[in-house]
Amino acid sequence: MDIPGLSMALAQTKINSDISVAMLSKALDLGEVLGEGMTNMLDAAAMENSVTPHIGGNIDIMV
């Protein structure tokens, strides 16, 4: 039985698992930041609509 080889393989597996968890954590953080940004943009758009409700309500087209 190759104990040093098995030990190295297990260590590499643990490193790969740790990297995967770290990348997933970063992706979740990025998703949270992007979600907050979208919420802020929607709130800003709703505020603009409440201040000037007549803008963007009608389109005049002549053909």
**What's the rounded mean pLDDT across residues 46-59?**
71
Residue 17 lies in a domain: yes
Residue 61 lies in a domain: no
Determine the residue type at 50. S
Write out pLDDT tens, residues 21-40: 999 999 999 999 999 999 98
Range of the domain at 39: 1-43
Residue 48 lies in a domain: no
Distance separating alpha carbons of residues 41 and 35, to the nearest angstrom = 10
Distance separating alpha carbons of residues 59 and 57, to the nearest angstrom = 7
pLDDT at residue 45 is higher than 70 = yes
Residue 34 lies in a domain: yes
Cβ contacts of 49 within 8 Å, gap of 6 or more: 56
pLDDT at residue 1 is higher than 80 = no
Q: How many domains does the chain have?
A: 1
Read off the pTM: 0.59
Determine the residue type at 18. D
